[in-house]
Amino acid sequence: MTTPITWVDAFSDAAFGGNPAAVCLLNQPMSDDHMQSIAAELGISETAFVTPTNDPSAFDLRWFSPAIEIDLCGHATLASAHVVRQSGVVDGAGPLTFHTRSGPLIASFEGDLIVLDFPADPITESPLPASLAGEWETSTVVTTGHTAFYAFVVVDSALLVRAYRPNLAAVSATSRKALLLTAPAEPGSGADYVLRVFAPNVGIDEDPATGSAQCSAGPYWAATLGRPELTAHQVSPRGAVLWVRVDGHRVHIAGHATSVLTGHLC
């Protein structure tokens, strides 16, 4: 029996935007080496592997970048929920539970939107990593910090985020797997904050749309702006729109998903 695979552009309501993810609907578990080889062959930021459980609304979910298995991935979770509904495995009337390395994650459907319920991952303030010294003028850096995954840098202008040309060697030399760069959005843009994510240490020079980054950026901007409901623009070359709601220790991340192609693994 062959394995269905769907290429999905997550956090985009049209093809060729947002962040591409491949979603494989497995009939039975697949070996780690085989999953890693598929992800490396596809070469996109994440490939998701979805396996059914005895509960028709619950699935095992694993994510692989081209280089390693990932602990938490928002866009490929959103893409997985989209594919499970689109393929008719579920009707979308109720929420789905994905069992992952980061614990159970909930996805629900609000019309065309898919809403993820993820754990908050607030930043801890800390000095800018030494390898990133000189990447921005000191006067433009508002806050620096970290999570287990991210080096977190807030600058004072969305233009700086858009114009940034990363020194990937410097990003790789931090003690974190990725750099999350963020700033307040431009007035009138329809967003509250902008961000970009660079993750060469997991095989992704720039991640086009990063749901899990909102687990850190969302709580920061909710506290800074004084309100829990926010709109984020990820200003990568592909671009993405994410709607974020911070609720205590949880962050709800909503977005669209668009299938680009479907097929079967040989």
Residues 58 and 91 in one domain: yes
Write out the two tokens for 265: 């693994």
pLDDT at 134: 93
Question: Are 113 and 180 within one domain?
Answer: no
User: Is there a single domain that holds both residue 233 and residue 258?
Assistant: no
On whether both 13 and 112 belong to a single domain, the answer is yes
Q: What's the domain count of the chain?
A: 2
Question: 28 and 66 in contact (C-beta within 8 Å)?
Answer: no
In this predicted structure, what is the pLDDT of residue 29? 86
CA distance 158 to 148: 25
Across-strand partners of 131?
A: none
Angle, alpha carbons 185-186-191 (nearest 5°): 50
What is the chain's pLDDT, residue by residue, as a tens digit (266 residues)?
689 999 999 999 999 999 999 999 998 889 999 999 999 999 998 999 999 999 999 999 999 999 999 999 999 999 999 999 999 999 999 999 999 999 999 999 999 999 999 999 999 999 999 999 999 999 999 999 999 999 999 999 999 999 999 999 999 999 899 999 999 999 999 999 999 999 999 888 999 999 999 999 999 999 999 999 999 999 999 999 999 999 999 999 999 999 999 999 98
The Cα–Cα gap between 249 and 134 comes to 34
Catalytic residue among 46, 110, 135, 137: 46
Q: Tell me, yes or no, whether 81 and 159 share the same domain.
A: no
CA 264 to CA 116: how far, in whole Å? 27
**Burial of 177 from C-beta contacts in 10 A (0-12 / 13-18 / 19+):** buried
Task: Indicate whether 17 and 111 sit together in one domain.
Answer: yes
Residue 100 maps to which CATH number?
Answer: 3.10.310.10
- pLDDT tens column, 5-52: 999 999 999 999 999 999 999 988 899 999 999 999 999 989 999 999
* Calpha distance 59→36 (Å, rounded): 19
Which pLDDT score, from 0 to 100, does residue 266 have? 82
- Give the closest residue to 8 by CA, choosing from 76, 73, 72, 74: 76
Residues 202 and 257 in one domain: no
178 & 214 share domain: yes
Whether residue 64 contacts residue 35, with contact meaning beta carbons closer than 8 Å, is answered with yes
Judge whether 46 counts as a catalytic residue: yes
| Domain, as residue range, for 156 | 124-245
108 & 204 share domain: no
Q: Which residues on adjacent β-strands are paired with residue 119?
A: 250
**Residues 156 and 103 placed together within one structural domain of the fold:** no
Domain shared by 129 and 108, yes or no: no
Whether 180 and 148 map to the same domain: the answer is: yes
pLDDT of residue 203: 86
